[in-house]
């Protein structure tokens, strides 16, 4: 049976374009059971919306015969042809936009970080639950086939044995001096800085690869951290977090906007060998190499599909909504709350407060 899901895209920006690319490619290839129909682009400027449709190549052929409406945010929320809203705007806007979408009866997939702090996340989780609407933070990394492959090896076949240690880094030289101070990477009023933007992925690897449980069920861990706050922008551009689980395993989870990171971007050390993860963008793991201590043939897993990688989470959302589920089992809301509270703790340990915290 084919599942159809009608999307409204909020924010005609960078990540929204990469997201819709995958929806359209999926339709064009007639891959799998889901057809994603983009019915509305919600934007601050109709010109920007029209340019978005052209630049991101949404056309009637790859969008099930539909050219999306270009609308104000307000009109998108009122649009009966929108079943689920994808929110691709800067972090501090997520809270009021998710709230507005839920209050308009829409399901929501919201970009990471879900909110600026746990307090706001909790508010939205309670609202979605009270409205019985689907809500998920778009932690696309969790849905990649390479992650599925590695998790099976770690937690099902247990071929790598006991997990001891993970190094995971998400760093890139953002050339901050060339960006205007109003850039969402730099501006404290847009919750700029490294931890919430990319450090969240390093933490996510600490959650994915060192623990097979989620949210309230997760294995207990402690965190110690350092953030380097930029003297001009007053936001963090170096973030180092050590996560120690009750079983003794440790994650050394780092991020930086000052410098490019290493390749492999992650290395997981276990009693029977190690795994290395490779990607141009550590949010989307493309290749995993597993090396065994006993000299047996290494395993290399690679997945080159032409998708940016958003299709995996988008399909999961479509299956959930079509089945009447209000949360996703791979990225449940309790896991969002756990990661948000971990990031709150890191900021607290380093005296880093956003205006949105008050
Ligand atoms: N999953 C991932 O790997 C990934 C990658 C990058 C970003 N993200 C997340 O996606 C979100 C958006 O990031 P992005 O890089 O796409 O940002 P962006 O291109 O700077 O902005 C996205 C859109 O948000 C609206 N917007 C931007 N700045 C605004 C401001 N100051 N006030 C009001 N609206 C503003 C604009 O939409 P309109 O003008 O059209 O209304 C803009 O096109 C962030 O939360 C980020 O963490 C996720």
- Do the domain assignments include residue 347? no
Last residue of a domain, one of 287, 304, 321: 304
Range of the domain at 239: 141-304
Ligand 1 site-directed mutation target among 41, 43, 90, most atoms within 8 Å of CB: 90
Q: Are residues 195 and 284 in the same domain?
A: yes
Q: Do both 209 and 271 map to the same domain?
A: yes
**Which stretches of the chain score pLDDT less than 50?**
none
Domain presence at residue 345: no
Smallest CA separation from ligand 1 atom 37, residue: 11
Judgement on whether residues 92 and 181 belong to the same structural domain of the protein: no
Same domain, 36 and 80: yes
- In a mutational test of the pocket of ligand 1, which residue from 70, 184, 186 has the highest number of ligand atoms less than 8 Å from its CB? 184
Percentage above 90 pLDDT, the chain: 99
- Which pLDDT value is given to residue 1? 86
**DSSP track, 146-183:** HHHHHHIIIIIS-TT-SEEEEEEEEE----GGGS-TTS
CA distances from 278 to 143, 173, 212, 286, 288 (A): 16, 18, 21, 6, 6
Residue 338 in any domain: the answer is: no
Q: Kindly state whether residue 346 falls inside one of the protein's structural domains.
A: no
| 259 in the same domain as 233 | yes
351 lies in some domain: no
Indicate if ligand 1 lies below 6 Å from the C-beta of 71: no
Is the CB–ligand 1 distance for residue 184 below 6 Å? yes
Task: Write down the pLDDT at residue 167.
Answer: 98
- 76 and 27 belong to one structural domain: yes
Residue 4 pairs in a beta bridge with: 35
pLDDT in the model for residue 22: 98
Question: 131 and 149: one domain?
Answer: no
The domain total for the chain is 2
Nearest residue (by CA) to ligand 1, atom 5, is 15
> Does some domain include residue 186?
yes
Residue 267 exposed, middle or buried by CB count within 10 Å (0-12, 13-18, 19+): middle
Domain check: are 156 and 296 in the same one? yes
Q: Are 198 and 217 found together in one domain?
A: yes
pLDDT of residue 205: 98
Atom of ligand 1 nearest to the CA of 15: 16
- Residues 298, 326 within the same domain: no
Residues 213-267 pLDDT 10s: 999 999 999 999 999 999 999 999 999 999 999 999 999 999 999 999 999 999 9
137 lines ligand 1 (CB under 6 A): no
Shared domain for 148 and 82, answered yes or no, is: no
CA 200–ligand 1 middle distance (angstroms): 16
What is the Cα–Cα distance from 332 to 25, expressed in whole angstroms?
Answer: 27
Q: How far is CA 318 from CA 1, 6, 35, 65, 110, in A?
A: 13, 9, 9, 19, 14
pLDDT of residue 201: 98
Distance 30 CA to ligand 1 centre (A): 29
Per DSSP, the three-state class of 44 is: coil
Determine the straight-line distance between the first and last CA of the chain, rounded to whole angstroms: 48
Same domain flag for 102 and 185: no
Tell me, yes or no, whether 358 lies in a domain.
no
Residue 191 lies in a domain: yes
Judge whether 226 and 240 are in contact, CB under 8 Å. yes
In CATH, what number is assigned to the domain containing residue 318? 3.40.50.720
Cα 234 to ligand 1 centroid, rounded to whole Å: 21
Report the CATH number at residue 223: 3.30.360.10
């Amino acid at each position: 049976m084919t599942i159809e899901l009608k999307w409204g895209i909020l924010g005609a920006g960078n990540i929204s374009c990469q997201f819709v690319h995958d929806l359209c490619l999926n339709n064009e290839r007639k891959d799998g059971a889901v057809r994603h129909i983009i019915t509305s682009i919600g934007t601050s400027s109709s010109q920007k919306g029209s340019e978005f449709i052209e630049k991101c190549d949404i056309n009637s052929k790859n969008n099930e015969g539909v050219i999306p409406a270009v609308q104000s945010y307000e009109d998108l929320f009122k649009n009966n042809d929108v079943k689920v809203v994808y929110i691709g705007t800067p972090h501090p806007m997520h809270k009021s936009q998710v709230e507005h979408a839920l209050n308009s009866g829409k399901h929501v997939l919201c970009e990471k970080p879900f909110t600026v702090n746990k307090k706001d996340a909790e508010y939205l989780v309670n609202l979605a639950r009270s409205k019985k609407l689907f809500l998920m933070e778009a932690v696309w990394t969790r849905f990649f086939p390479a992650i599925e492959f590695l998790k099976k090896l770690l937690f099902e076949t247990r071929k790598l044995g006991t997990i001891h240690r993970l190094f995971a880094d998400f760093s890139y030289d953002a050339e901050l001096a060339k960006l205007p101070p109003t850039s969402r990477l730099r501006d404290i009023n847009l919750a700029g800085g490294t931890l919430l933007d990319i450090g969240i992925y390093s933490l996510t690897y600490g959650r994915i690869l060192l623990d097979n449980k989620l949210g309230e069920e997760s294995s207990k861990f402690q965190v110690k951290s350092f953030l380097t706050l930029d003297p001009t922008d007053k936001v963090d551009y170096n973030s180092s977090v050590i996560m120690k689980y009750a079983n003794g395993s440790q994650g050394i989870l780092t991020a930086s906007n000052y410098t490019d990171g290493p390749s492999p971007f992650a290395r997981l050390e276990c009693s029977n060998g190690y795994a290395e993860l490779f990607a141009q963008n550590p949010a989307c793991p493309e290749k995993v190499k597993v090396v065994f201590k006993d000299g047996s043939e290494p395993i290399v897993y690679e997945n080159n599909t032409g998708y940016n990688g958003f299709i995996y989470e988008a399909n999961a959302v479509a299956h959930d909504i079509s089945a009447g589920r209000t949360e996703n089992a791979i990225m449940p809301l309790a896991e969002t709350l756990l990661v948000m509270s971990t990031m709150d703790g890191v900021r607290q340990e380093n005296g880093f407060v956003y205006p949105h915290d008050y």
